[in-house]
Amino acid sequence: MKIAFVGLGNMGAPMARNLAAAGHEVAGFDTAAPVPEGVVPAASAAAAAAGADVVITMLPNGTILRAVAAQVIPAMRPGAVLCDCSTVDVESARAVAAEAAASGLGALDAPVSGGVGGATAGTLTFMVGGTGAAFATVGPLFEIMGQKAVHCGEAGAGQAAKICNNMILGVTMIATCEAFALADKLGLDRQKMFDVVSTSSGYSWTMNVYCPAPGVGPKSPADNGYRPGFAADLMLKDLRLSQQAAEGADADTPMGALAAELYARFVEEEDGSGMDFSAMLPRFEKRHRG
């Protein structure tokens, strides 16, 4: 396929590189980041999109997505597909899909899970909203960039799935860190706690796969000074998106709201910015009740 890739940052660059390495013709554009090996530089987002079968975007937020969409949609050929892999608000995803459809284009919102490591290794999971026809067109590209793509429903459904998943992740990480901090104060060995919880009803991804305690369980950012695999700043972004969505849908999400408040405090008032989201553990270690 002829592919345009707009947004070549930490996630977009390896995704575009994998597509080029698989033999596709990839034109890339970013306002600041360099174009990766194998990708042909374009002078603008619109220039990259001209004549492409699929335009893929990986952008920081919904405002930027809307601005880029306004540039690329008029340049795209009829029948092409705009596939946004950013994590943005549901409203922006649906608005861009509507604009694309009005111009005779397919559109997908396809946020990812798996981080930079998954983008590099081609093992991302895509949560996809949009038409079945557009999903079928981009399906072979999802297979190159990831290990799984789930068609979640119509426009916005991919973002909804990502937001709900990461709300669970944020809440669960806080609970896991709280539990380790409590175990410390109760004199319980961390390895013994892991051995029990990881095989009991407290089992979770944050405990068993991404344990926030250094030296316990599989290797994780905790074993690397909490350098980010998934930054606390990005968790805060996703939790805020979840609360924006919950407000719009009139959904009661008290745990999600509290998680957003705690990560906001951690990132914006404490030392959490630039740290992994599991660095909540040393935060709780230093705190006392009340």
Give the catalytic positions in this structure: 162
- Residue whose entry in the numeric block shows the structure tokens 């190159």: 144
- Residue whose entry in the numeric block shows the structure tokens 């930490």: 10
